[in-house]
Amino acid sequence: MTAPLGVILAGGQATRMGGGDKGLLRLGDRTLLDLVIDRLSPQVEGLALNANGDPARFDALGLPVLADSIEGFAGPLAGVLAGLDWAAEQGASHIVTAAADTPFFPSDLVPCLQLAAETQGKPIALAKTENGRHPTFGLWPTALRGDLRHALTDGVRKVVQWTDSHGTAMASFPVVGFDPFFNVNTPEDLAEAQRLMEQA
Residue partners of 53: CB distance under 8 A and separation at least 6: none
Q: What is the pLDDT of residue 20?
A: 67
Rounded distance between C-alpha atoms, residue 157 and residue 84, angstroms: 16
Range of the domain at 89: 5-199
pLDDT in tens, 65-104: 999 988 777 889 999 999 999 999 999 999 999 999 999 9
**pLDDT reading at 18 higher than 70:** no
Tell me the average pLDDT of the chain.
93
Rounded distance between C-alpha atoms, residue 45 and residue 90, angstroms: 11
DSSP notation for the chain: ----EEEEE-----GGGTSS-GGGSEETTEEHHHHHHHHHGGGSS-EEEE--S-GGGGGGG---EE--SSSS---HHHHHHHHHHHHHHTT-SEEEEEETT-TT--TTHHHHHHHHHHHHT-SEEEEEETTEEEEEEEEEEGGGHHHHHHHHHTT---HHHHHHTT-EEEEE---BSB-TT----SHHHHHHHHHHHHH-
Find the CATH number of the domain harbouring 114.
Answer: 3.90.550.10
Q: What is the pLDDT of residue 17?
A: 46
Q: What is the pLDDT of residue 72?
A: 73
Q: What is the pLDDT of residue 73?
A: 74
Distances (CA, A) of 22 to 74, 92, 140, 176, 189: 18, 28, 24, 25, 11
Q: What is the pLDDT of residue 2?
A: 81
Output phi, psi for 113, to 5 deg: -65, -45
Q: What is the pLDDT of residue 71?
A: 79
Nearest of 166, 74, 178 to residue 131 by alpha carbon: 178
One-letter amino acid at 132 equals G
Number of domains in the chain: 1
Q: What is the pLDDT of residue 22?
A: 87
Q: Band of the pLDDT at 13, cuts 50, 70, 90?
A: low
Q: What is the pLDDT of residue 16?
A: 46
- By mean pLDDT, which of 53-62, 66-75, 110-119 is the weakest? 66-75
Distance of CA 42 to the CA centre of its chain: 15
